[in-house]
Chain A
Amino acid sequence: MASLYDEVVTITYDYLGPAADRFVVRQIRNHLQKDPSELQRKDLRQLIDWIQLAMRLISSDSDTIDSYMADLEALAQSKEPGIHGKKIIR
C-alpha cells in the first residue's frame, strides 16, 4: 500500500514532474521538521498550506495551482489511504 507521502508525491508529479519528489521532501523536512516517511494524515492540512505558498512563488498560473490544491484537498478529505495511489515512475 502506498504511504501518504507517496500519494502526495503522486499528485505533485502531475504538476512538477521529475522535481515532485524533491519538492515534497523539502516541504516536509523544512516546514514540518519531519522525515517524509513520518508524514501523517493530521499533518496534511499544514503541508497543503506550505505547498500552496511555495507554488505561488514558483508559478503565476492560478488555475494550475488551484487544480493542484484541489487534488491535495481531495487526498486530505479521503479516509482510506491509497485511493489516489496512481502508479508513478520516478
Chain B
Amino acid sequence: MSVKSKIFYWYAAFVIAFTLVLLLPAPDSATLVRYHISALGLRLLDATFIIPEALIWFAAFYGYAKLHSYSQLIQTGKDGKQIARLATGLLLLAVGLPVGAILGGILSIIAAHEPSFKNPSVIISNYLGVLFPLLAFLWIGRGARGLSNLIKGRPQFWKTNVTTVAVITLGVIFCCLIVLDHAELRKAYHMSPELVMLTLGIPYMYTWFLGFFASVELQTYSQRVTGVVYRRGWNTLILGFVSIILLSILIQYLSTLTTWLTSLSLGWALLLLYALLFLLAGAYIVVALGATRLTKIEEA
C-alpha cells in the first residue's frame, strides 16, 4: 500500500472515530445549562464541528503527504535527511489533532459514566495536549538545526535574544496564572499548582522554546541558502512551517487558559477557535504548496 493510501485510510478512520465519539453519547447536562441550549441544539452544534475539523485534518495530512513525498525524492541528499525530520514533526502535529480530539472525547464519555474518573480524564487530556507538540517540535528542531548546519549559519544574535525573551514572557505569564489563580487552576487541572508548574508548565515552555527556535533557524536557512529558484520554493515552505509552529503555540497557550476561554460566550469562543484552526489549515496548505514547488525541481 502506498504512503498516500495509508495516510488517506488513517484520515478516514480518524474522521469516522471522531464522528462516533461526538454524536453517540448523550449530551452533557452541565453544557446544556452553561450555554442555554436544548439537547437537539447541542447535537446539531456538535455536528457542525465535524466538517471543519475534518477539513482542518485533511489540510494537515495533505501538507504532510506532500512534504513526505518531497523528502523521499531527495532522501539521498544531505538536505533530504533534514527535510524527512521536518516531515516527521509535521506528521506528529497532524496526528496530534485527531488523536487529541478523539481521545479527549473517549475520556469524557468514560468520565460521564464513571464520575470518579472525571479528574483523571482531565489530567490525561492535559498531558496528551503537550505530548504531541513536544515530540513534533523535537523532530522539527532537529531538522531545522540540521539545515542550519548545512549552510554553516547561525541565527543572528538579536533573533536568538528575541526568541529567548518571547519564551520567558510566555512562561512568566503562564506561571503568574498558576500562582495568582489557585482556585480556578485546581478546577481546570485537578492538580496542585506546583505539580502543574513542574509537569505541564516546564514541558510547555520547553515546547514553545523548541518551536520558536526552530522557526528562527528555518528562516535563517531560507535567507542564506543558495539558489534563486530553490529559495522561492523554500520561502513558501518556510512561511507555512513557521505559521504552523506559531499558530500551534498560540493554540496550546490558549488551551492552557481554559478558565478565560470558558468565560467567553459560545459564539466568541467558537469564532476564536475556528479562526485559529482555519489559519492553521491554511498554513498546512502553504507547506503543501512549497513542497510541490520544490518537488517540481526534483522531477524536471
Contact surface of A with B, Cβ cutoff 8 Å? 13-23, 26, 54-55, 57-59, 61, 64, 90
B150 touches A61 (CB 8 A): no
Closest chain B residue to A27, Cβ basis: B300
For chain B, the count of residues having a C-beta within 8 Å of the partner chain is 19
- Chain B residues closer than 8 Å to A59, beta-carbon distance: 229, 232
Contacts A57-B296, A58-B296, A58-B297; A18 near B79 (Cβ below 8 A): yes
> Whose C-beta in chain A lies nearest to the C-beta of B150?
A18
Judge whether B226 and A14 touch: CB under 8 Å: yes
Q: Given contacts A58-B229, A59-B229, A64-B229, is CB(A18)–CB(B78) below 8 Å?
A: yes
- Report whether over half of chain A's contact residues are helix, strand or loop; otherwise say mixed: helix
**Residue among A20, A54, A55 making CB contact with B227, cutoff 8 Å:** A20
**Interface residues in chain B, defined as those with a beta carbon under 8 Å from any beta carbon in chain A:** 74, 77-79, 150, 225-232, 234, 294, 296-298, 300
Q: State whether B298 touches A17 (Cβ < 8 A).
A: no
A20 to chain B, nearest CB (A): 7
Complex Cα spacing A18 to B231, Å: 10
The interface residues of chain B lying within 8 Å CB-to-CB of A16 are: 227, 229-230, 297
Taking a contact as CB atoms closer than 8 A, the residue among B77, B226, B232, B296 that contacts A22 in the complex is B77
Which of A19, A21, A61, A64 counts the most B-chain CB atoms under 10 A from its CB?
Answer: A19
Is the beta-carbon distance between A15 and B227 smaller than 8 angstroms?
A: yes
A18–B300 CA distance with the chains assembled, in angstroms: 15
| Contact between chains at A17 and B227 (CB < 8 Å) | yes
